[in-house]
Amino acid sequence: MFNDHTILLGIETSCDETAASVCIDGKIVLSNVISSQIATHRTYGGVVPEIASRLHIDCIDYVTRCALDEAGISLNDIDAICATKGPGLSGALLVGYSFAKSLSYANGIRLIPVNHLLAHISANYLLCKIETLDDLNTLTMDNFPSSALNAPFICLLVSGGHTSLCLVKSKTDIEILGQTIDDAAGEAFDKVARALNLPYPGGPQIEKNALDFNNKEDVSIINLFPRGSVKDKPYDFTFSGLKSAVLNYINKYKVNSKDIKEVQKISYAFQESVFDALLSRTILLAKEKNITKVALAGGVAANKTLRMRLDTACKANNLQFFVPDIRWTTDNAAMVCAEGYLHLNDKNKSYIDSDIFLD
């Protein structure tokens, strides 16, 4: 505890990023260290779970030390260790969660297990990054990039493994009202990118190619691919039909992945289809539930076009829009601190015997 503030250490290893972070009160980030395995997995076109686990083992200790050093904090100053418990890759989760349990046990620091998906949503509560603890004294609300987000709100959670529409009734009471019945949005980005011979992860590659496309007003291209809907489930998503339509188009027209203009066109048309589906359901849900605030979360929330389009759609519908800083959209441990902080008062539970969960 530092001057009535709670200092949290976060640890995240659910997929292919080894991450550790030190945060204050689940809102202010002192350090956010991420060791990405992307370069290794890229050779295989996607994440290889066994390699991911081994790479986490190699650097979890170092990444955690870096996060503590960068924050200028020692383990003695940490009030709680928040660690991702699931969902994710089992071997990868086991490395980070077991490491966190050992640190907790050996140093007598309480452990707070964190759900990875809720952590993505809680990234919206992170307010800013500071360089040293002394900077806490100079913080005023004017320094914060966005005003604080309070429940109730609708959260569109779009990551590599999940696509859900959540009603956040309170920060710890969340109901999923819509979800994908097949591929997650990020997964669809990755699969389409692969078909276009773009490197893993596909999301940023599709985004770049779509941004570079010149003919953005051409309605025939905007509507090149379908917007799937799910019968009798107005808030659910389906992306497998869209993915098949893109693959069929590539085969039918024998698209050469070296034809940059064609890759840009397909990337743009695909992205428009995904975003139309995401936006229409999000706005519909907010309107029907009479909720005035909308937040975005998950790795796909790093996409600037999605951020801008949802912002515009919210403004047009008199809704307030929130989105985390881009650093806190893809997997990181600051968001794990933000979520863990909400569970600081679950004091009676002992988690040292707890285990990971997969989905």
Count other Cβ atoms within 10 Å, centred on residue 151.
16
| Cβ pair 61, 89 in contact under 8 A | no
29: nearest Cα among 10, 16, 2: 10
Alpha-carbon Rg for the chain, nearest whole angstrom, is: 21
CB 40 within 8 A of CB 51: yes
Burial label for 211, CB within 10 Å (0-12, 13-18, 19+), is middle
* Residues 294-333 contacting ligand KG4, CB under 6 A: 298-300, 302-303, 330-331
Q: In the bound complex, what is the minimum distance in angstroms from residue 134's beta carbon to ligand KG4? A: 32
Give the burial class of 348: count Cβ atoms within 10 A of its Cβ; 0-12 exposed, 13-18 middle, 19 or more buried. exposed
| Of positions 183, 187, 207, 331, contacts Zn ion by CB under 5 A | 331
Within residues 8-37, the interface with ligand KG4 by CB under 6 A covers 15
Q: Is 207 in the site for Zn ion (CB under 5 A)?
A: no
Q: Is 161 in the site for ligand KG4 (CB under 6 A)?
A: yes
Minimum Å distance from CB 330 to Zn ion?
Answer: 7
User: Please, which residue, 36 or 320, has the CB nearer to ligand KG4?
Assistant: 36
**Residue 201 binding target from ligand KG4, Zn ion, none, CB below 5 to 8 Å by type:** ligand KG4
Contacted by 186, from Zn ion, ligand KG4, none: CB < 5 to 8 Å by type: ligand KG4
Of 21, 37, 122, 159, which lies in the binding site for Zn ion, with binding defined by CB under 5 A?
Answer: 159
Which of the residues 196 through 235 are near ligand KG4 (CB under 6 A)?
201-204, 207
Which of the choices Zn ion, ligand KG4, none does residue 339 contact, using the CB cut-off of 5 to 8 A by kind? none
For 25-158, list the strands marked E by DSSP: 28-36, 80-86, 110-115, 128-129, 153-158
Q: If binding means CB under 5 A, how many residues of this protein chain bind Zn ion? A: 2
Separation CA 3–CA 9 (nearest Å)? 17
User: Does 124 interact with Zn ion (rule: CB under 5 A)?
Assistant: no
Instruction: Summarize as ranges the residues that interact with ligand KG4 (CB under 6 A).
Output: 15, 120, 159-161, 186-187, 189-190, 201-204, 207, 298-300, 302-303, 330-331
Instruction: Summarize as ranges the residues that interact with Zn ion (CB under 5 A).
Output: 159, 331
